[in-house]
């Protein structure tokens, strides 16, 4: 990674303004259902406070659209953060204004203050420079440790750091960029990408960027049916991105002409009349899906085919489920691939999993801790792996050459 980090700062007596990603999932009752993002921010938080600085944390939560919605308050996050650290955690019910200034004026070294949800102001997503100027008053130096928002040019991620002479990456952001950069630039072969999810539209650039870098691309989930249809197969009423059929056909034609096959698609699948727990289901070959039926999961032969390819892998990138895994009767394929990826991690493979659905699937069967690296940023990791720019990273200080 070519950006400066926390270790490049003299923190003694400084007040650090740090962007974190505390956009945690909440239950209907307002309880945090997964505190992973809070825990992953702790190394940077502890380092800053242990080195004589005070800390002002800023984040968003959900999509309030510029309105102050009580159910989207970060107060619950402040409480959980206080349970996870020995350092005092304060909270203020705004992110700009007199109430914030008063709290910050009383902040001492070793203490932290969490600001209220940035997206309670529409100016955050608008990347408003005046809003950014107000936020910038709360720190002497700026740190970004929110990889999950690195692909967004928002006030707290792009405009705010430009108001600081010292602006660096936190440890989580550094780790994400280092791990993802290594699998793009210097992966241990064989390198296998496992891509799933609903639509081709969200992954086609990734497929195009990876096709010459990987040894295999395994494609499952709803996006597989666009590839299958482009090859002339019958997919019934399965999900298809019509506008991407030509691109998929071009990739498939190129793969057929190549000396060694790279793209692996499901050879069988579970189909259903409807996407619900009570729907009629059956197993068919992927080219034999009748009208009125929908592909909802990969079948046993596909699981076996994909698993054999994964057994050979030394580097694996997984982004996207193999089916409608949210429903238990359609989750077998996703869960089996998750188990296989965890298994080969234990055998020494470097495995990287990104995307909320893939991580949720791992969490659901308690395998997250068996993966080499869980990426916290679905959209950001996709953008990076596609070869795109990350505005929040581009504004940080570069390392001296």
Secondary structure of residue 125 in the 3-state scheme:
helix
SS3 sequence, 142-162?
EEECCHHHCCCCCHHHHHCHH
CA distance 57 to 59: 7
CA distance 110 to 100: 18
CA–CA distances in Å: residue 372 to residues 10, 55, 316, 348: 31, 30, 10, 9
Element (H, E) at 179: helix 171-185
Q: Are 130 and 123 in contact (CB under 8 A)?
A: yes
Q: Are 306 and 220 in contact (CB under 8 A)?
A: yes
Which residues have a catalytic role annotated?
Answer: 37, 199, 356, 379
Q: Please, is 19 exposed, middle or buried when counting C-beta atoms within 10 Å of its C-beta (0-12, 13-18, 19+)?
A: buried
CA–CA distances in Å: residue 178 to residues 170, 184, 384: 12, 10, 11
């Amino acid at each position: 990674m070519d950006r400066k980090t926390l270790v490049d700062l003299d923190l003694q007596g400084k007040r650090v303004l740090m962007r974190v990603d505390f956009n945690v999932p909440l239950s209907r009752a307002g309880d945090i259902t997964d505190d992973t993002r809070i825990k992953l921010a702790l190394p940077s938080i502890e380092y800053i406070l242990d080195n004589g600085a005070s800390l002002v944390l800023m984040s968003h939560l959900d999509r309030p659209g510029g309105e102050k919605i009580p159910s989207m308050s970060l107060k619950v996050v402040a409480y959980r953060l206080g349970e996870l650290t020995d350092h005092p955690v304060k909270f203020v019910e705004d992110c700009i204004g007199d109430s914030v200034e008063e709290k910050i004026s009383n902040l001492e070294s070793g203490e932290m203050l969490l600001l209220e949800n940035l997206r309670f102001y529409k100016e955050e997503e608008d990347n408003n420079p005046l809003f950014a100027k107000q936020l910038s008053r709360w720190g002497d130096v700026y740190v970004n440790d929110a990889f999950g928002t690195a692909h967004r040019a928002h006030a707290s991620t792009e405009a705010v750091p430009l108001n600081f002479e010292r602006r660096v990456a936190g440890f989580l952001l550094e780790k994400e960029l280092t791990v993802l950069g290594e699998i793009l630039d210097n992966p241990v072969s064989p390198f296998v990408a496992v891509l799933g999810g609903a639509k081709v539209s969200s992954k086609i650039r990734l497929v195009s960027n990876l096709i010459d870098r990987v040894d295999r691309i395994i494609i499952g989930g709803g996006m597989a049916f666009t590839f299958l249809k482009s090859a002339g197969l019958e997919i019934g009423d399965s999900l298809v991105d019509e506008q991407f059929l030509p691109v998929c056909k071009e990739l498939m034609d190129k793969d057929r002409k190549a000396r060694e096959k790279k793209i692996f698609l499901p050879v069988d699948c579970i189909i259903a009349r409807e996407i619900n727990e009570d729907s009629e289901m059956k197993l068919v070959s992927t080219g034999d899906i009748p009208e009125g039926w929908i592909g909802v999961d990969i079948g046993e032969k596909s699981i076996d085919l994909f698993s054999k390819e994964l057994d050979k892998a030394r580097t694996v990138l997984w982004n996207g489920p193999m089916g409608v895994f949210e429903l238990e009767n359609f989750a077998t394929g996703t869960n089996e691939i998750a188990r296989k990826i965890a298994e080969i991690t234990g055998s020494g493979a470097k495995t990287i999993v990104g995307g909320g659905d893939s991580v949720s699937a791992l969490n659901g069967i308690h395998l997250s801790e068996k993966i080499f690296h869980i990426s916290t940023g679905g959209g950001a990791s996709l953008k990076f792996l596609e070869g795109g720019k990350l505005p929040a990273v581009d504004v940080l200080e570069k390392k001296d050459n």
